[in-house]
Structure 1
Amino acid sequence: MKRLACVSLLAVLAACGSAPVGPGFYRVERGDTLSKIARSSRQSVQSIVRWNNLANPDSIEVGQVLRVAPPGNSAPITSATASSGARSSSRGGVAAAPAPRSAPDDVSPSPTPATSISLIWPANGTVIRRFDGSSSKGIDISAAAGTPVVAAAAGTVVYAGNGLRGYGNLLIIKHNADYLTAYAHNRVLLVKEGQSVTQGEKIAEVGDTDTDRVMLHFELRYQGRSIDPSRALPAR
């Protein structure tokens, strides 16, 4: 039963997981580029950028869910007709699938919490990426390897391991019925599943597992959906 509970909690972090997505959507995998995704789905890069409101086409993340079929009844812009003149792929893609009426759960708008939680910063460092609700489900904090990672609030460790692709050595702490926090890419984990922790207690050390730079990726989830952690963190 304990393992089943952990599996359910891992599913909450679908942003970088492998949960299936609906027709007309694609989950980014390691090694993907927007051009590669466009070719395989027989769409243009411009269309995918527009459908997903991508600010930077060169910045997509493993686990990110992209729309690769036109929303509603709009006609697709294929790579054969795109102004870039890129050559279309002969492989079939998901573009022919009907677009879903609503986006998958992991790209739905963030909920407005009915309750609040007060957090402390989980690590000392510089915020290099902020929450945007789509390509970034949390904040990234750059710090030296070995920098202490502390519990942002008191709670119980419900996951400690590296079984979720894209997160490296990961800790998940459940604070109450509504809130949990996640701490990813740690060099070492210092607490175990089932262990109670206090706010500010050292739980890990900053590292670079399953990422290309030393940093802490920190997420706050409310009823299973990602929300902006900075709203619950003290101003710096």
Structure 2
Amino acid sequence: MTTTLITGANRGLGLETARRLVAAGHTVYAGMRDPAGGDAARAVGARVVRLDVTDAASVTAAVAELPELDVLVNNAGVLGTSFDLDDLDADAMTAVLDTNVVGIVRTTQAALPLLRRSANPVVVNVASGVGWPRALQEPGRDEYPVRAVPYAASKAAVITLTVQYAKNLPDFRVNVADPGYTATDLNRHSGHQTVTEGTDATVMLATLGPDGPTGEFHDRHGRIAF
């Protein structure tokens, strides 16, 4: 049995990832800040665990609840409060980076001892096309109109940290997923993809075997060249 931990799994992409991996036979631990809001995760067969990626003690306690771990999906993320330069300041930047980037480091570092015991350790980081400079600069793409600095910068950092983790962990499969423009609470359901479409890449990467790729960036259509 494959044991999987997903952060930010109370709704949206995290919840759908939990549903699909449970259906694929994984024992899924659905991490979320408030387990009282975990009824949807429980309904799809996941086990709810309190996990706030901005709180080191919470992350440590959550990982301590796991008997073993094969797959870590770092899905938790926030848009933040800054969407152009007029509302940008250091505090707005720090808040987004703390969740979207440092939160991945907190969780992954805490999970490494368990993952290293797995015969097939896998880490999937959920980024975004807005972290890919080429997409931000290409008219006609969904990412092009985005002007927010913190969110885009945080997702660029996620892509890069994934490559670096993959280099440092050659026995792991460490990859990064771009969900695409998916209808979730995060964007007030303005996206044109369903949550199932938005989790295609994450689920594929979470179910890789030991001979699968590592250090790569994928969307639902396949590998995105750096």
> What's the TM-score once normalised by structure 1's chain length?
0.28
Higher helix share: 2
User: Rg bigger for which structure?
Assistant: 1
